[in-house]
Amino acid sequence: MHDDRQLVEGRLERAMRQFVRPAQYARRTPLTLSVWHAPGEPVPVAEALKGEYMPFETGTVWGKPWSTSWFRLEGTVPEEWAGLHVEAVVDPGFTGQGPGFQAEGLLYDASGVPLKGIHPRNRHLTVAERAAGGEPVRLLLETAANPAVLRDFAPSPLGDVLTAGDRPIYRFRAADLAVLDETVWHLVLDVEVLSELMHELDADRGRRHDILRALERMLDALDLHDVSGTAAAARAELAGVLARPAHASAHRISAAGHAHIDSAWLWPLRETVRKASRTFANVTALARDYPELVFACSQAQQYAWVKEHQPHIWERIKKAVADGNWAPVGSMWVESDANMPGGEALARQLVHGKRFFRDELGVETEEVWLPDSFGYTAAFPQLAKLAGAKWFLTQKLSWNQTNKMPHHTFWWEGIDGTRVFTHFPPVDTYNAQFHARELAHAERNFAEKGGASRSLVPFGWGDGGGGPTREMLEKARRLRSLEGSPTVEIEKPSAFFEAAHQEYGERAPVWSGELYLEMHRATYTTQAKTKQGNRRSEHALREAELWCTTAALRDPSYAYPYDALDRIWKTVLLHQFHDILPGSSIAWVHREARETYAAVLAELDGLTAEAVRRLGGGEPSALNASPYPRDEVVAHEGRLARVRVDGLGSGPLAEADAHTRGPGAHAAATREADEKIVLANEYLTVAVDADGLLASVRDLEHGGREVLAPGARGNLLQLHPDHPTQYDAWDLDAHYRHTRTDLTGAESVELVEEGPLRVAVRVTRSFGASRIVQEYRLAAGSRRLDIVTDIDWQESEKVLKAAFPLDVHAERSTSEIQFGHVHRPTHANTGWDAARYEICAHRWLRVAEEAYGVALLNDSTYGHDVTRTQHGDSAGFLGTTVRLTLLRAPHSPDPETDLGTHRFTYALLPGATTGDAVAEGLALNLPLRIASSPALTPVVTVDDPAVTVESVKLAEDRSGDVVVRLYESRGGRAEATLTAGFPVAGADETDLLERPLRPAVTSDSGLALALRPFQILTLRLRPV
């Protein structure tokens, strides 16, 4: 037979484009339009119903960026359409951009009840399944003039309402009543399913040619000038090839409806409230027509928004959950970043998420659902299990630039040894559309062939929302069992996980440690003030909960601020969303985030101050929210004082006489002949040279060992050009390292504090349009050299690093993560090692030899890099260079990212053990609070320093029980006793949601604790 495939395929393409698809809506009549342009921010529908509407014509421009317009759509179904399927079809000016990245709308009935969202791939609202003719149609359309911000990653003023301008950006194209020819519509879907499948089959497959000839016969049966009249005959020609079932060995796909909705990204938070409402209205409307639909939806925050703002839609969601069409998933408040949230914050993501789904919808979610976060901490498996989750899902690792993950279904093992059953959908998208290309890719790509036979496909428009469409559901019906294709079963994700676990769980491979994304490494640094706001809010919440608990235990009249703390926690958790905390949202989002964090910190400071006030007055004291004892120099009323304070307790300020702590307990400074300034205390001698760099750091506790590598200088600021191939805010591409400028020149190097309690050198330098002032501070009794940094950052597309070349032969670095730490190689032997050229650490990063380590601490930085560096003569001395990534200046999606003033502190800790790094990292991030306070016995104490108390609070059920969360922080076993500072009637070990698991082991001295490496333990103590 002659090969005429291309001719037949070309004939099919033109017929569908020019004749068949247009025939789906062959009859139309326009609706009458009027408009009210809402002033300012969006308004509720009740206010819109009172608006003054003016006549409006299709073809007219509307919508300045970020504005809202309300349109009334009015008309009558023609009498001659009686018995036909009539729809309102609306196009307010959709562009070629996908759903969620342009104009969007929500249709209401005339009384203001929300009906259904519209977007470029879902423009219709069914007016009548079988019209009577003559029915009046009155609708209200809320339209959002959301601009498309991300175009080729070019700088754009559209990312903030303050800079976006007033020029209308859309032209209203059409609002019609139209007859949907259902036979033609089904013909289109038949052809799409078969044609897409045909193109995925090899040319030597008989099935491909069977489909081709069936499509050719369909074309022969179709009169292109009477598509409606011949569509049924055309469909009949395809019935045979559509009826042939899949092979028994076909890959099995479990499909779940989905709509990834970024809680903020290229739109502000307030717009996500409406995106969720539009999408959820779509889904609940779709479920009425397709009872097999299951919609998997995460992010409790978005449910809460809809409950508050759209009660009609909320009631429909509850019904859909009860009917089995809706599956709450994810177990988290938002789909957060999974690298940078602190340990307690990540626990609270699960606590607040699971509690919402349980209390509001009666659902105990079983999975962590994070398809789009930028890498995943190795603390997650344990947290998931402690929250009652059994499964974990993501597909983001398919974005890896260097290495392909070897598994799609496997056990993920965390740092403590906990394992969670994990799936990466091999379809490599969470926005699938049931295109044959996607399903074929899922089957070909599936790594577990021979061991497992099923995978999950989340389908529906996403990122900006939208969700599944009726066309997708129709395709799923045709693909349920179709020769040449994987089978498709729409079902809950839990059903997939149960079946996958039963099939493969015993034999599934294990991946141990973090799931590092080999991409988007700049998200550890971009938008420094957002990250700083998060870090400080996390620690302020820790402090507020501790002192409020202390006040509640000591003052029966004190009212613990449950509601305020709950609200603040949810605000902080929201801002950990994976495009807010990583810094990859528009300017508007980060401007509001800075304002929100300022308000959060002010409110928490007030809550803490009130709690401390209720503890009673006393002499000026230092309150320590860290679980470790502190011996520090603090500033109070314009003077310095030395204070020694127990963990979670308080201590009086000492006189401003350094020698009250004994001989040698002082700090001093001297000027050397070579212009160096030497700072010294009983632990360190630090030399600052004329360039303001660290020329020497000697550790006196370790025989005067030099910390810096031979011939190298520390705290060397290095500036690199920063031009990612794409994804400006997200990526720090490896080529940035090819060029750098060392900032060695200093305008001034001044000794500004001369002891005896603290010595300090201030260094001022300028570069480009920027200016930086740093103070090296060394306090009496401290083993830590603090570097307090103020910078006016005015660079463009640069990245600033602070380098510490250390005389430490380290084969690996150790970085703090949530509830523990991870080790990463300092070499680049393999592609996996080389790809980790930028890494995330929380409060500290440590490098060490067998008997000596050095830690670098920070109060708001996450990005680091660690390399092996040779120093000295040709034989070389192998050292380790640790660098903090301080600031970036990308132009997209925020063209002024990080420009302005910043203040932060990082610190060098020579001779640091892991335990030292843990304690000093907490100290740097939890400054002592000076207040008039009596001596406070700690609420709890633990007698093994390896056991770190993470949080102390009152139980969420408002019973008055005290909840203590702690963990083993050094990577070893710990036997400890916890002693309460109040009478205890009983105690339980609980899950993260404070539900009892088993009675705690008690003795006369307290609670006996036996912890495995990195084990997290939550205790619930019942006061007498």
Please write the tens of the pLDDT for every residue from 738-749: 999 999 999 999
Q: For residue 891, what pLDDT is reported? A: 97
Question: What is the CB neighbour count within 10 angstroms for residue 242?
Answer: 17
| Spatial separation of the C-alpha atoms in residues 57 and 731, rounded to whole Å | 45
Span 273-302, pLDDT tens digits: 999 999 999 999 999 999 999 999 999 999
Strand bridging mode 367-369 / 391-393: parallel
Sign of CA pseudo-dihedral 830, 831, 832, 838: positive
Q: Are 783 and 916 in contact (CB under 8 A)?
A: yes
Span 772-784, pLDDT tens digits: 999 999 999 999 9
Q: Output phi, psi for 557, to 5 deg.
A: -85, -5
3-state secondary structure of 329: coil
Q: For residue 673, what pLDDT is reported? A: 84
Asked if residue 664 has pLDDT above 60, the reply is: no
Distances (CA, A) of 80 to 130, 135, 457, 851: 12, 12, 43, 90
Q: Are 85 and 179 in contact (CB under 8 A)?
A: yes
Sheet holding 758-767, edge to edge: 748-754, 758-767, 770-779, 785-793, 900-910, 853-858, 844-848, 812-817, 820-825
| Spatial separation of the C-alpha atoms in residues 10 and 13, rounded to whole Å | 5
Residue-by-residue DSSP string for 171-222? E--EEEEEE--HHHHHHHHHHHHHHHHHHHS-TT-HHHHHHHHHHHHHHHH-
Percent of the chain's residues with pLDDT above 70: 98
Q: For residue 663, what pLDDT is reported? A: 47
Distances (CA, A) of 426 to 193, 200, 412, 490, 497: 20, 17, 17, 17, 15
Asked if residue 873 has pLDDT above 70, the reply is: no
Mean pLDDT of 947-961: 98
Q: For residue 97, what pLDDT is reported? A: 78
Asked if residue 658 has pLDDT above 70, the reply is: no
H or E segment at 541? helix 528-554
473's CB contacts (< 8 A; 6+ apart) are: 286, 290, 292, 293, 490
| Spatial separation of the C-alpha atoms in residues 73 and 106, rounded to whole Å | 12
DSSP designation for 16: I
Asked if residue 660 has pLDDT above 50, the reply is: no
Alpha carbon dihedral 611, 613, 616, 618, in 10-degree steps, equals 130
Asked if residue 874 has pLDDT above 90, the reply is: no
Q: For residue 655, what pLDDT is reported? A: 57
Q: Are 400 and 383 in contact (CB under 8 A)?
A: no
Tokens at residue 74, please?
Answer: 């009015």
Asked if residue 872 has pLDDT above 80, the reply is: no
3-state secondary structure of 587: helix
Q: For residue 659, what pLDDT is reported? A: 41
Catalytic residue check, 372: yes
| Residue that is written with structure tokens 């970043």 in the block | 337
* Ordered alpha helix ranges (H), 942-982: none
| Spatial separation of the C-alpha atoms in residues 480 and 457, rounded to whole Å | 13
Instruction: Give the CA radius of gyration of the chain.
Output: 32
Span 467-503, pLDDT tens digits: 999 999 999 999 999 999 999 999 999 999 999 999 9
Strands (E), 658-725: 668-671, 677-680, 684-688, 694-699, 705-706, 716-721
Mean pLDDT of 116-132: 95
Mean pLDDT of 445-455: 97
Burial of 681 (0-12, 13-18, 19+ CB in 10 A): buried
DSSP designation for 300: H
Strands (E), 859-971: 863-871, 877-888, 900-910, 929-932, 940-942, 947-954, 962-968
Tokens at residue 212, please?
Answer: 């081709």
3-state secondary structure of 594: helix
Q: Which of 206, 209, 184 is nearest to 8 (CA)?
A: 209
Q: Are 325 and 293 in contact (CB under 8 A)?
A: yes
Whole-model pTM: value is 0.97
Q: For residue 1, what pLDDT is reported? A: 65
Tokens at residue 256, please?
Answer: 């779940």
Q: What is the mean pLDDT of the chain?
A: 96
Q: Are 714 and 697 in contact (CB under 8 A)?
A: yes
Q: Which of 469, 489, 467 is nearest to 477 (CA)?
A: 489
305's CB contacts (< 8 A; 6+ apart) are: 272, 273, 276, 277
DSSP designation for 24: G
Q: Are 974 and 944 in contact (CB under 8 A)?
A: yes
Percent of the chain's residues with pLDDT above 90: 94
Q: Are 276 and 465 in contact (CB under 8 A)?
A: yes
Asked if residue 151 has pLDDT above 90, the reply is: no
What is the greatest pairwise CA distance in the chain? 103
Catalytic residue among 160, 176, 372, 916: 372
3-state secondary structure of 930: strand
Q: Are 257 and 459 in contact (CB under 8 A)?
A: yes
